[in-house]
Amino acid sequence: MPGYSLNTKGERVCDEIIVRALKSYRSRLEFVNAGGYYKLSRYLYRDYGYRVNHKKVYRLCKENKLLLPKRKKVSKVRDKRICKNHIISKPNELWELDLKYGYIHGEERFYFMLIIIDVFSRYVVNYHIGLNCTGKDLVLALNIAIENHKADANQLVIRSDNGTQMTSKVFIENMGSYDDGEVIHELIPLATPNKNAHVESFNSILEIEFLQVRYFTDYGQAYEETVGFIHNYNTERIHGSLKWNTPSEARETYLSGGDLGIKEVRL
């Protein structure tokens, strides 16, 4: 009924009475900067028993200048370093990382594989496998990789996409916490997977040669076989770009001062 609403007893309540109640709410300190029209409709029902649709409350508030001012969206600005061009001529100069999903058929759920790969040698320096993956998991995997491979924090660059783990506060803070210096973390521009080409290439290998040809009954099997595949990739799978050596062979040769004639990587 135009100009009226009903209360819980089915009685008419004119709009002027409803407006007075709305003005009463807005005059209270707790409603000066809070309490939108939807919430006010619930207060009207709770306190007065008025059954007023939230759309009508919006109209009445708008007509009587009782709406809250629209809040400006404040974007979180972080110190993001966009990736730049590099010439990579040895291991431990640039590592790429990315997240990959696998499917556990027997349990009908997904699991996560976080991969950290050395660009020059194509060697997977570390990984995280789990039913979830957080920024803390990424920090742990990266820190272990840096410690185990004795990477120089002053010379190492980490490159990733803009995923939630890679832009999390815990990960960004971790980048500046190394004793040997700050590890540079670069983010690729949006929709440019070619800037993260080497880890994307590994993920393609993982998908075609591993995930598409396996059936996992449970997470335990998925974890064990994924670990085995990554190990075989590092130690058994040869690459034409590595002069038909495995990532492990290429990495060990260059770290010991040798040279296989592998081309510099420009990206």
Pick from 78-82, 94-98, 124-128, 158-162: least confident? 78-82
Q: Which two tokens stand for residue 152?
A: 């120089």
Listed as own residue / partner, the contacts of 141-150 with beta carbons closer than 8 Å and 24 or more positions apart are 141/114, 141/116, 142/97, 142/116, 142/174, 143/174, 145/95, 145/116, 146/178, 146/183, 149/92, 149/125
DSSP string, 103-116: EETTTTEEEEEEEE
Q: Is 70 exceeded by the pLDDT of residue 178?
A: no
Q: Do 252 and 214 fall within a single domain?
A: yes
H or E stretch covering 100: strand 94-104
Whether pLDDT at 49 is above 60: yes
User: Which of residues 24, 48, 63 is at a domain's end?
Assistant: 63
In whole angstroms, what is the distance from residue 147 CA to residue 48 CA? 65
C-beta separation of 21 from 44 below 8 A: yes
| pLDDT of 160 above 80 | yes
Mean pLDDT over residues 64-76, rounded? 72
Question: In this structure, is residue 110 part of a structural domain?
Answer: yes
Residue range(s) defining the domain that contains residue 54: 4-63
Contact 6, 48 (CB under 8 A): no
Does one domain contain both 140 and 255? yes
DSSP conformation class of 47:
I
Mean per-residue pLDDT, 63-73: 81
Looking at the fold, whether 177 and 238 belong to one and the same domain comes out as yes
In a domain, 82, yes or no: no
Quick check: 75 pLDDT over 60?
Answer: no
- 49 belongs to a structural domain: yes
89: left (phi over 0), alpha (psi -120 to 50) or beta: alpha
Q: What is the CATH number of the domain that holds 98?
A: 3.30.420.10
Task: Assess whether 227 and 109 both reside in one domain.
Answer: yes
Q: Which two tokens stand for residue 220?
A: 């335990």
Tell whether 262 and 184 lie within a shared domain.
yes
Whether the pLDDT of residue 180 is over 60: the answer is: no
Per the structure, the count of domains in the chain is 2
Q: Is 45 among the domain residues?
A: yes
Where helices occur in the chain by DSSP H, the ranges are 15-26, 37-43, 54-63, 135-148, 169-175, 197-205, 219-235, 247-255
The mean pLDDT of the chain is 90
The pLDDT score that the predictor gives to residue 77 is: 39
Same domain, 135 and 183: yes
pLDDT at 94: 95
Please check whether residue 25 lies inside any domain of the structure: yes
Please give the pLDDT value at position 179. Answer: 54
- For residue 249, the tally of other CB atoms under 10 A from its CB is 20
Strand (E) or helix (H) holding 126: strand 124-130
Residue count of the chain: 267
Residues 103, 142 within the same domain: yes
Tell me: do 164 and 250 sit in the same domain: yes
pLDDT at 72 over 70: no
List the structure tokens of 151: 């990477």
Average pLDDT over residues 107-128: 97
Is residue 50 located within the same domain as residue 96? no
- Kindly state the average pLDDT of the residues 227-249: 95
Q: Are residues 159 and 261 in the same domain?
A: yes
Average pLDDT rounded to a whole number, residues 91-118: 96
Residue 80 clears pLDDT 90, i.e. is over it = no
Cα(248)–Cα(232) distance, integer angstroms: 10
240 vs 152, more confident: 240
237 shares its domain with 153: yes
Distances (CA, A) of 169 to 126, 159, 182, 184: 21, 16, 16, 15
Give the residue-averaged pLDDT of 102-110. Answer: 96
Lowest mean pLDDT among 81-95, 155-169, 234-248: 81-95
Report residue 55's pLDDT band, with 50, 70 and 90 as the boundaries.
very high
Tell me the pLDDT tens digit for each residue of 191-225.
787 889 999 999 999 999 999 999 999 999 999 99
User: What share of the chain in percent tops pLDDT 90?
Assistant: 72
Question: Does any domain span residue 76?
Answer: no
Q: Are residues 120 and 40 in the same domain?
A: no
Residue 215 belongs to a domain: yes
Residue 181 scores a pLDDT above 70: no
In a domain, 68, yes or no: no
